[in-house]
Amino acid sequence: MTAPHAIEPDLALAERLFDRLRAASLDPPGVTRDAYGAGEEQAHAICIEAARGCGLDVSRDFAGNTYATLPGTDRSARTLLIGSHLDSVRHGGNFDGAAGVIAGLAALAGLRTAGVQPRADVAVMMTRAEETVWFPVSFPGSKAALGRLPAEALDLRRSDTGRSLAAHMAELGFEPDAIRAGRRHLDPARLAGFVEAHIEQGPELIEVDRAVAIVPSISGGYRFRNAVIRGEYAHVGGAPKRVRRDAVAALAHIIAGLNAAWDQLDAAGHRIMVTVGVIGIDPEMATWSRVPGEARFTLDIRAVDLPALETMRARLDALIAEAEAKHRVVVALGADTSPQPGFLNDALLERLRAAARARGIAVHEMPSGGGHDALAFHDAGVPAAMLFIRNQNGSHNPDEAMEHVDFAEAARILTTLAATHEG
């Protein structure tokens, strides 16, 4: 019998799938695979065809997540899930999300070719709607499968169509009513774990010259999507500084203070990210000759470093108090929609390390700054772990540039993991 560390994933299949996905979702200058829309559905169809061609068992759940399963010799043992998402941002790259799905399919196809059957089932899970640019909720596909998507999330509107998540699901033949009823497809007690491979979304693997990283934790923190500062509109020539209630000036005070605090934390060796991603003022009220009386913004503070998160939240609260006093405004952050940081499963992480050692693959270790489906599984009590694959030029842009030789190393680790899975 072929040794687990000698089984090769089907890398030719992987290259064909990447090419087919790019061609099917090309939207210059990048690709677009819209969540619960034609782009994502076509991506699932391509991967379903490939999975069936490899002899894997294919099924879907009521939320549209797809499963391609290599049956084990003991069907009563716990299933190992390997997977990621197939949607993309608008005009994004071809590898974000898809790399994890294709790595899993390549691994299971390699086991089929080698005639190796693990003791317990291993399934590639292709999730839905991971990218929150489409619907303002994190991991709806994964959460729905686990019975953890709130019913009210079904009423959220897609950013481009204005139609609800439930409407988009129903249009594709899925069952939003099952979510409203609280059903779940995946029982955490029946899962041995969820492992997600994903391109790295920053430069660290390039800097340390490693193809693959093991990811022991996923960032969380504070995410305010609908923050607003309310002051008072006034004529710029008739309102001296002492009477102004300038909402934009107040926002500038908060942003400058957050960046100064970030510099201090960086200098002290803490890993944390702070982003004001959207700033807006009412276009019906804004003119060059009017003091802005309202400003809206988003704020995302994320880390796995809990002391750094606490420090930054305290500084945010202090800056808000300063801005309100100095500029005579009112600041309302709105709901915090960020998940908490996730510290992934030690035993599953060690299995990934062991698989890498068996393959002779040197790996880096680093936390994830971005959120991923693995976090939804972690939060549901399922053992979860991640791999990062080296990738030039970041992610969520057309210039993602994962090298296939680096992808192959991650796929080999997953192949060994799957071959040795015992439930």
The domain spanning residue 172 has which CATH number? 3.40.630.10
Question: 307 and 370 share a domain?
Answer: no
| Structural domains in the chain (count) | 2
Q: How far is the CA of 330 from the CAs of 239, 316, 335, in angstroms?
A: 19, 14, 16
The label of the residue with tokens 């996730």 reads: 342
C-alpha 176: how far from its chain's center?
22
- Supply angle C-alpha 196, 95, 88, rounded to 5: 90
According to DSSP, the β-strands at 220-230 and 294-303 are: antiparallel
Question: 197 and 231 share a domain?
Answer: no
Question: 195 and 277 share a domain?
Answer: no
Cα 328 from Cα 58, distance rounded (Å):
60
C-alpha 226: how far from its chain's center?
20
Residue 339 has φ and ψ, to the nearest 5°, of -75, 165
Question: 228 and 214 share a domain?
Answer: no
Question: 198 and 255 share a domain?
Answer: no
Residue 168 pLDDT: 98
The label of the residue with tokens 């490693």 reads: 210
Which residue, of 267, 301, 332, is where some domain finishes? 332
Q: Mutual orientation of helices 38-53 and 98-114 as an angle, nearest 10°? A: 10
Mean pLDDT by 10 residues, the chain (423 residues): 91 98 98 98 98 98 98 98 98 98 98 97 98 95 98 98 98 98 97 98 97 97 96 97 97 98 98 97 95 98 97 98 98 94 97 98 96 96 98 95 98 98 96
Token pair belonging to 267 = 């200098």
Residue 2 pLDDT: 82
Cα 319 from Cα 305, distance rounded (Å):
21
pTM exceeds cut of 0.85: yes
Question: 104 and 245 share a domain?
Answer: no
Question: 209 and 91 share a domain?
Answer: yes
Look at residue 100 and give its three-state secondary structure.
helix
Residue 1 pLDDT: 67
Q: Which structural domain range is residue 385 located in?
A: 4-219+341-419
Question: 20 and 112 share a domain?
Answer: yes
Cα 117 from Cα 73, distance rounded (Å):
7
Token pair belonging to 157 = 């509107």
419, 362, 360: which is closest to 4 by C-alpha?
419
- What is the separation, in whole angstroms, between the first and last Cα of the chain? 20
Which residue, of 305, 332, 359, is where some domain finishes? 332
Look at residue 332 and give its three-state secondary structure.
strand
Question: 134 and 274 share a domain?
Answer: no
- Are the CB atoms for 392 and 89 separated by under 8 Å? no
Question: 326 and 203 share a domain?
Answer: no
Residue 93 pLDDT: 98
Cα 116 from Cα 114, distance rounded (Å):
5
- Please report, for the domain that includes residue 244, its CATH number: 3.30.70.360
212, 195, 216, 218: which is closest to 357 by C-alpha?
212
Which residue, of 310, 332, 354, is where some domain finishes? 332
Question: 253 and 178 share a domain?
Answer: no
Question: 12 and 138 share a domain?
Answer: yes
Cβ-proximal residues to 355 (8 Å cutoff; 6+ apart), any chain? 5, 413, 414, 416, 417, 420
